[in-house]
Structures are given as C-alpha cells and as structure tokens.
Amino acid sequence: REHAWHFVPSYHRDIVKGVATYWLEFFEAVPELNVVYVPIGQGSGICSCVAVRNGLNLPTKIIGVVPEGAPAYALSFEAKRKIAAPVTTLLG
C-alpha cells in the first residue's frame, strides 16, 4: 500500500455538514433572497442548502439545476421514479 488514503463516498453525511457551512455564510449574508439556483451533482450541495434554509426558517425557494447533457435527475423527477440516462460532456 503506497498511500494511507481514506475512501470518502461521493455523498456522505460529513460532506453535507461541511458544505452546509458555506450555505450558512451565504444565507446570513443575503437572507432576503427569493430564489436560489443550486446545481444538483451528487446531492450534497442542494441537501445542505435545504437544511440551512430550513434551519434559518427562511422562505427562499430552492431550484435544483442540472446540465442539459445529464438529464437523469430531470427525467426522474418528471417520471416520479429513477431514470437512467446517458451523459455527454460535449458543448453545443
């Protein structure tokens, strides 16, 4: 074993807690926002955004966004079930 690295899954409770610190700073700086658009990715950003917004009892609407080339979340939300979809990283 060359390195004593520790595996951290892409979505983990501790990651959500860490990401929540920037949302806390964000919402404390601008608590009057009506809407925030949050990239979904693996989910830690949007989950921590919701947790902090709720913890501060703010009325801010949170909208999750995904790239056009990675439609699985949008398709799953629309279908109300998990949908697998191919991903492209090509622009245009």
pLDDT of residue 43: 87
The continuous run of DSSP H or E covering 61 comes out as: strand 61-65
Rg (CA), the chain: 16
Phi, psi angles (nearest 5°) of residue 61? -80, 135
Per-domain residue ranges of the chain: 13-79
pTM of the predicted model as reported, rounded to 2 decimal places: 0.78
Candidates 81, 35, 90; CA nearest to 58 is: 35
pLDDT in tens, the chain (92 residues): 688 888 888 788 889 999 999 999 999 999 999 999 999 888 899 999 999 999 999 999 999 998 888 889 889 989 999 999 988 877 76
Residue 58 is predicted with a pLDDT of 98
